[in-house]
Amino acid sequence: MDLRQDIAVETPRLRRYARALYRGDVAAADDLVQDALERALGRLHLFKPGSSMRAWLLTITRNVYVNDMRGRARRPLETNMDEDLDGAAFSHRAVQDDTLNVRDLNRALGQLVEDQREVVLLVGLEDLSYKETADVLGVPVGTVMSRLSRGRNHLRRLMDDAGQQPGAPSNPLRPTPLRPATLRKLT
């Protein structure tokens, strides 16, 4: 069993996760992946055979990311990421998007609190099971589920709001938002 090979296989997924964490910032995302890979390769002896390499690498990536965020707490990521994305990064994408505006989604992701964003991404993008996500984050499955619900509700509300702003492209196809009365108000 070649663990290095297993890590190489997972690397594109780590890059995707990191790219989403940094909302499209390629350089920051690959720096994160590089740090995570170095840490993983330096600790290969700690990998438990029989466990999921993907989950282990995502755990490391997430921990490196959290440390990085703490380090740059005074320098919020939101600054001009959106402008970058409006321009180059997604310019090749067709504009026929049928249900949501890609830019709105990316911007909305940036407005989620970290706890919710990471669950939304691990489950929704990396397709981890709830149990695997709970293991990556070191929280109970119930916590994963509640963060996921709140995160997704918040995300949808942010996108609905973005769609209603003056000048923003309206989308008649977007389903009427249905929000449970119990939805917690997040600020």
Q: Is there binding between residue 186 and another protein (CB under 8 A)? A: no
Identify the residue among 68, 82, 97, 161 touching another protein (CB under 8 A). Answer: 97
Which of the stretches 47-55, 57-65, 66-74, 163-171 binds another protein when contact is defined by CB under 8 A?
A: 47-55
Q: Calculate the alpha carbon distances from 26 to 23, 65, 66, 88 in Å.
A: 9, 14, 18, 11
CB of 19 to another protein, least distance (A): 5
Q: Is there binding between residue 120 and another protein (CB under 8 A)? A: yes
Give residues 163-182 in contact with another protein (rule: CB under 8 A): 175-178, 180, 182
Question: Where do runs of H (alpha helix) occur along the chain?
Answer: 3-21, 26-42, 53-71, 78-84, 102-111, 114-124, 130-137, 141-164
CA 33 to chain centroid: 14
Rounded Cα–Cα distance for residues 7 and 61 (Å):
12
Q: Is there binding between residue 149 and another protein (CB under 8 A)? A: yes
Identify the residue among 67, 88, 131, 164 touching another protein (CB under 8 A). Answer: 131
Residue 59 or 153 having the CB closest to another protein: 153
CB of 79 to another protein, least distance (A): 20
Which of the stretches 57-65, 69-77, 149-157, 163-171 binds another protein when contact is defined by CB under 8 A?
A: 149-157
The vertex-116 CA angle with 109 and 99, nearest 5°, equals: 40
**Side chain identity at 136, as an amino acid letter?**
V
Rounded Cα–Cα distance for residues 163 and 4 (Å):
45
Q: Is there binding between residue 88 and another protein (CB under 8 A)? A: no
* Nearest Cα residue to 24 out of 66, 95, 87, 74: 87
Q: How many CB atoms lie within 10 A of CB 144?
A: 24
> Under the rule (CB under 8 A), what is the footprint of another protein?
1, 3-4, 7-8, 11-13, 15-16, 19-20, 30, 33-34, 37-38, 41-45, 48-55, 90, 97, 99-100, 102, 105-106, 120-121, 123-125, 129-131, 141, 145-146, 148-149, 152-153, 155-156, 159, 175-178, 180, 182-183
